């Protein structure tokens, strides 16, 4: 059984949960509370698993893996269930690029450690942090909308079934709402988010449906 | 012929150049000067190619692709030459995770647009920007060193030949030097960097060997 270390609110862990659900892969969940005990991700035991002291991390026997996109592609390549990446090399590359807009250029800028640093080093208050996060989320999601606008409209980002791009999009849309970012100019993303969130695999992965959820 | 839009100093473009050289893939280079004309990446023509207004971007006929990791995996899957990712699924996943430590959690935090925002919104001076970059580079590279320390020492990050992990590591080591980050506690990364930089494929990709180089 795969052991999965995550946290309800982490966008990266949320991505992995959607992927596990879409693939139908059972996991043994371990909660790593990012705000308790000075951050449970910073303990020596967790750092031995993930030297970045970030969630998520995955264990299967002696095998250990970090980074949500690597985890999701590994899952897709080694586990049964519907494919999360397309078979066509050109389309697969564009799906990865879409996912990386979010996973490289949006989400890491709003990570807890980054916000903590902005507070400590630059005296940023909550309004400044919200503006910081809002700026990168708006820029990134607008680019995602533009990447999709160049393609025929489909129920999911890149076709008739959910995949890696949708898996990255939905947690970022959740986080956009948290930071008060408007998706008014992103009709395609809004429609896809509505479609995804109605599916059990996405709904069950939502932060509020996790055992470690806190309001 | 692949048309590649990049900038000599961009870490993401530098990654792609190493990959092109390792694969032996010829490209037609287009310089996108990030600091000239208010940023050539912000023109409508370039945004039509990459709505993120970031380098790199790739064109081959009608096919367009952004995001360096997506470009490198696409190159590996569609072009001849030595493989840049391992055939074993578990090892391939760990290579991707290593690459993503750099491409997701280090490099985007030191991107030009982020530093410009820190200056404009938080009044950061050059010393504060250097400290900001140094912090994330040190944390990220220390995690990379720890990920490799768990493995048998090899000439390259994950074996006897250079691949995706090395391709991401070398531009980040270049950028570490720019920001005055010490690699004293990272003997494994230092040894790998020395080995890589002695190879023609890496040397030819160095920023100072590009047609758009400026001191």
Q: Do B122 and A117 touch (CB under 8 A)?
A: no
Q: Give A142's contacts in chain B (Cβ within 8 Å).
A: 51
Of B173, B26, B30, the C-alpha closest to B107 is B173
Same domain, B98 and B78: no
Same domain, A49 and A66: yes
On whether the CB atoms of residues A83 and A41 are closer than 8 A, the answer is no
Q: What is the pTM of this model?
A: 0.98
Q: Do B117 and A100 touch (CB under 8 A)?
A: no
- Collapsed DSSP state (helix, strand, coil) of residue A1: coil
For residue A212, being part of any structural domain is answered with no
CA B84 – CA B95 distance, rounded (Å)? 10
For residue B212, being part of any structural domain is answered with no
For residue A63, being part of any structural domain is answered with yes
For residue A175, being part of any structural domain is answered with yes
DSSP H or E stretch at residue B71? helix B68-78
**Most A CBs within 10 Å, among B97, B118, B139, B186, to test the A interface:** B97
Based on the structure, what is the number of domains in chain A? 2
Same domain, A125 and A148: yes
State the CATH number of the domain containing residue A70. 3.40.30.10
**Tens of pLDDT, residues B81-112:** 999 999 999 999 999 999 999 999 999 999 99
**Which whole number is the average pLDDT over B23-47?**
94
pLDDT at res. A206: 98
pLDDT at res. B146: 98
On whether the CB atoms of residues A21 and A200 are closer than 8 A, the answer is yes
Domain that holds residue A17: 2-82
Same domain, A196 and A125: yes
Same domain, A156 and A188: yes
Q: Do A122 and B124 touch (CB under 8 A)?
A: yes
Same domain, A76 and A93: no
Q: Do A70 and B97 touch (CB under 8 A)?
A: yes
Same domain, B110 and B194: yes
Q: Considering Cα of B125, then B131, then B135, then B136, what sign does the dihedral take?
A: positive
For residue A181, being part of any structural domain is answered with yes
pLDDT at res. B42: 94
Same domain, A140 and A196: yes
Kindly indicate the confidence band of residue B74, based on its pLDDT and cuts at 50, 70 and 90: very high
Domain boundary among B66, B82, B98: B82
**Tens of pLDDT, residues B124-180:** 999 999 999 999 999 999 999 999 998 999 999 999 999 999 999 999 999 999 999
State the CATH number of the domain containing residue A99. 1.20.1050.10
The contacts of residue B178 (CB under 8 Å, 6+ apart) are none
Q: Do B108 and A109 touch (CB under 8 A)?
A: yes
pLDDT at res. A215: 85
pLDDT at B202 over 90: yes
Kindly indicate the confidence band of residue B215, based on its pLDDT and cuts at 50, 70 and 90: confident
DSSP H or E stretch at residue A97? helix A89-105
Same domain, A63 and A111: no
For residue A211, being part of any structural domain is answered with no
3-class secondary structure for B169-194? HHHHHHHHHHCCCCCCCCHHHHHHHH
**Tens of pLDDT, residues B57-72:** 999 999 999 999 999 9
For residue A184, being part of any structural domain is answered with yes
**Which whole number is the average pLDDT over B35-40?**
90
Q: Do B105 and A71 touch (CB under 8 A)?
A: no
Domain boundary among B48, B82, B116: B82
For residue A207, being part of any structural domain is answered with no
pLDDT at res. B164: 98
Average pLDDT, chain B: 97
Spans in chain A with pLDDT lower than 70: none
Same domain, A46 and A100: no
Same domain, A68 and A116: no
**Tens of pLDDT, residues A83-124:** 999 999 999 999 999 999 999 999 999 999 999 999 999 999
Nearest to A108 among B52, B97, B109 (CB): B109
The DSSP bridge partners found for residue A180 are none
Nearest to B103 among A63, A97, A104 (CB): A104
Domain boundary among A82, A98, A114: A82
Same domain, A63 and A93: no
């Amino acid at each position: 059984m795969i052991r999965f270390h995550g946290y309800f609110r982490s966008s990266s862990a949320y991505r992995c949960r959607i992927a596990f659900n879409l693939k139908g892969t059972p996991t043994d969940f371990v909660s790593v509370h990012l705000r308790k005990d000075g951050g449970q991700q910073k303990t020596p035991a967790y750092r031995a698993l993930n030297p970045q002291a970030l969630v998520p991390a995955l264990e299967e026997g002696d095998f250990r893996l970090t980074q949500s996109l690597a985890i999701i592609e590994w899952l897709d390549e080694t586990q049964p269930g519907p494919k999360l990446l397309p078979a066509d090399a050109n389309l697969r590359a564009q799906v990865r690029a879409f996912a990386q807009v979010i996973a490289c250029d949006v989400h890491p800028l709003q990570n807890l450690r980054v916000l903590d640093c902005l507070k400590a080093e630059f005296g940023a208050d909550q309004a400044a942090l919200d503006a910081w996060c809002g700026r990168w989320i708006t820029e990134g999601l607008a680019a995602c909308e533009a990447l999709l606008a160049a393609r025929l409209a489909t129920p999911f980002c890149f076709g008739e079934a959910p995949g890696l791009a949708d898996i990255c999009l939905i947690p970022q849309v959740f986080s956009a709402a948290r930071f008060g970012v408007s998706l008014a100019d992103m009709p395609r993303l809004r429609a896809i988010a509505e479609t995804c969130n109605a599916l059990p695999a996405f709904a069950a992965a939502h932060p509020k449906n996790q055992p470690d959820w806190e309001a």
